[in-house]
Each structure stands twice: as C-alpha cells, then as structure tokens.
Amino acid sequence: MTFQCLSLVFAGFVWLANPLQAQQASVTASPASAPASFDPAEATKAWLNTVPAEKRAKSDAYFEGGYWLILWNFLVGAAIAIFLLASKWSARLRDFAERTTNSKSIQVAIYAVGYVLIVAVLSFPLAFYQLFLREHQYGFATQTFGPWFVEQLVGLVVAFIASSIALAVFYWVFRHAPNSWWIWGTLVAVVLSFIGNFIAPIYVEPLFNTYKPLTDAKIRDPILAMAQANEIPVKQVFEVDASRQTTRVSANVSGMLGTTRIALNDNLLKQCTLPEIRAVMAHEMGHYVLNHGAKLTIYFGVVALFGFGIANVAFDWAVRRWGQRWDVRGIADPAGFPLLMLIFLTFAFLMTPILNSITRTIEREADQFGINTSREPDGEAKVALKLGAYRKLDPTPLEEFIFFDHPSGRARIQMAMDWKAAHLPAGNLDAPEPATD
C-alpha cells in the first residue's frame, strides 16, 4: 500500500526529443528578458507548439490510458475482494490463523500475510501489464523482466511487514472499540500513514535505489543557496540512481527536523539544464516550506474519516445480509477485511476527482513558490514540456479536474509566462527601481 499522493514526488518522463529542440524553443518562443509587449497567452501557445504532433498524440494516449487503468484497478480489486468473501477463502485463512496461535494480534498478522500474498498473485496480470509491459511499450522503463520481478518480490516482503503491523494495530482497535472503531480507525490510519511516510526514505527507498551526496558544485551550490534563502536546514543535496528503473525526471524533499533531505535523480541531472533543475528543486522546496506534508495529512485525515463513517454503516449492513454466507462475524473479525477493502476501494474510486483536486491544489502552490524562488519561467516551461511526455499537455478543464493530480503542462507554462510578463523587480537596494513611472 503506497500513498502516492503523499509522496510529494515531482515526477515525469524525459522528453525524448532532441534536447536542442527545447533549447531553441526558449529563443524563438520566449526571449530571456520579456519585452513590454510580451503576451503570456501567445508565449504559452508558442511553447506548446514546439511539441511535434506525433509526440503529443503519444503522450495523450499514454495519459488517457491511465484513466481506464483507474477503472480496471478498481474493478479487479473489487472482484478479488468479492471472490475472497464469497469463496470463503478469507474465512478459511482466518480459521488457519486461529488454529496456529492463540494470540489475536499474531492471528491478524498471519491473516495479513496470507491476504497480501493472495491479492498479489491474483492482481499480478494487471500489475504486469501496467507497470512492465505498458511502460516498455511507451519506452519509459529501463529494466528487463528479471530485475523488475525481483523488485516486485522485495516490494511484496515490505508489504508483508507493513500490512501485518498495520492490520494488527487496526484490529486491536476494532476489538477494543466495537462501536466507535471507525473514529479510532481514522486516527490510526492518519498516524500510520505519517509514520510510513517518515520512515520510507530511511528504510524502504534504499531497498530499490542508492542515494549519494551530489558533488558537482555547479549544480549543488545553486540548489543549496535556494535552500538557505528559505531556511531549509540542509547542508548537502543527494543524487538518486532512478535511471535503474525509469527515464523519469524527478526530485523530492523528505524527512523532518534533523533528517531533512533534498534529493534529485540522475535523469534530472543528465537531461536538464541548470535553470530547469533550479525550477524543479524550488518547487520541491515549496512543499517543505509550505508544510505540505502536514497539510496533506490533515486533508486526507478528513477524507479518511468520511470513508470510515461510510464503512461503519456499509460494513454492518453487508454483514447482516451476507455475514453467515461469508462466515464473517463482525468488524473485529479479520475474515471481514476484504469487505472493508471493497468499501474503501469503492469510496476512493468515487472520490478520485476530489483526491486529485486536493493534490493538484497543493502542487499548484508549490509551483507558485517555485517560480518565485527560482525566478526561472523559461526553465519551468521547459520542464513542464518534459513532464508532458507522460502527462497530457493540454486537457479540457473537466479532464484536469477529474484526472490530474498535478497541474497540466499548459497550466504550468501559463503560470510561468504570467510571472514572466509581470516584470517583477529584483529588489536590489543599490539600484532601486522607481516606485512609479
């Protein structure tokens, strides 16, 4: 279980075009210093027009395919949950756990491992298509099947550990608060997701990638300067070898207090110029300075409370109706876990536009912080085009509302060009700008 929305990863695929193309675009579409007649709407159009039609068609197809994958993932997840209940596999797994030990918590942990294993096997065909075949089809993946599959197995072991601990805590709460379980359950969900996000960079991410200090002063020092100007307590920048898995350009700021870490990936370093790198890193710093981790935890806590409230009603209703047939005794019985998952999956599926809009709003804030800090409108536009290799560049407003967890390329370039057109003074006291003219 990963909380993609909370990971605050500013990710994308490298634009596979000749890098010079983006370079030239800055000259033709938007000169370095904007003239008085600079029209942001025209400049936005000019940037978008630098992308050849067939590239646009390909990235649109990739992203629109993702809309259908949301539906397929929901349907497959729901079908597995119903199958586990109706076939009584879930009840049998609980019976096995009860025969093995008398400790309720260990019974739940055993159930969790069995459940995760069954779901992983049954949903493997869809995962294989989505994460391996499709990524190769579009030229984004860099791994052959062997290393990819080994990583899936490592991820499965992480899921065994995380889910057995999480479910043991949840079911302890469900046993001790049979009526108010949904309120306490929300609290546990928030605390566990917070802990998960806190320890993932230390214990989970190193299982898949290597982080090492960035030594190139030409890149490191301008990034550290922006961090210093914004009171971000870091002394070094880390580089992560993401090219092992993907051609995505990405960076992130993670950790808390003494463990704060700024990391950028090797794709970003290889494929982007310094202005683009500064634009991306300033965006990431925006997440940190604007306390987005805490804000998202609160927002999703509210959504989770709503979800648990619905689950409270729906779970009881379903157990009254089908509990005997499924051999599910009640909320404290782990055999009912697939029912709980079915309710949450349905809720999350219906909430897709709301969840995406929460994240997109946060990302927009980080973009605004980023452009003010990096002061690189053209760098921002170039990166937006590179991210456009996998995210539809110019969607309809309804499409953006429903499916976009980050602003579209068009929205990002428009914001950068608006910033550029505003001609903000640098605030240099030695050569003050006239207040009026």
Give contact residues for Zn ion (rule: CB under 5 A). 10, 363, 366
Question: Of the two residues 252 and 414, which places its CB atom closer to Zn ion in the complex?
Answer: 252
CB of 283 to Zn ion, least distance (A): 6
CB-based contacts of 181, cutoff 8 Å, min separation 6:
173, 174, 312, 331, 332
Number of H helices, E strands in the chain: 18, 5
CB of 10 to Zn ion, least distance (A): 4
Question: Of the two residues 185 and 286, which places its CB atom closer to Zn ion in the complex?
Answer: 286
Rounded to whole angstroms, how far apart are CA atoms 336 and 357?
31
CB of 284 to Zn ion, least distance (A): 7
What value, to the nearest 5°, has the Cα angle with vertex 369 and ends 365 and 374? 145
CB of 192 to Zn ion, least distance (A): 23
Task: Supply 360's token pair.
Answer: 């997109």
CB of 264 to Zn ion, least distance (A): 13
H helix runs in 30-88, sequence order = 40-49, 53-86
Q: How far is CA 342 from CA 79, 85, 239, in A?
A: 9, 10, 39
The distance in angstroms from the start CA to the end CA of the chain is 58
Q: One-letter amino acid identity for 233? A: P
Question: Of the two residues 276 and 363, which places its CB atom closer to Zn ion in the complex?
Answer: 363
Question: Of the two residues 91 and 366, which places its CB atom closer to Zn ion in the complex?
Answer: 366
CB of 252 to Zn ion, least distance (A): 8
Residue closest to Zn ion when measured from CB atoms: 10
Query: Which of 282, 70, 319 is closest to 174 using CA atoms?
Result: 319
Q: Decide if 266 contacts 231 (C-beta within 8 A).
A: no
Question: Of the two residues 205 and 363, which places its CB atom closer to Zn ion in the complex?
Answer: 363
Question: Of the two residues 126 and 232, which places its CB atom closer to Zn ion in the complex?
Answer: 232
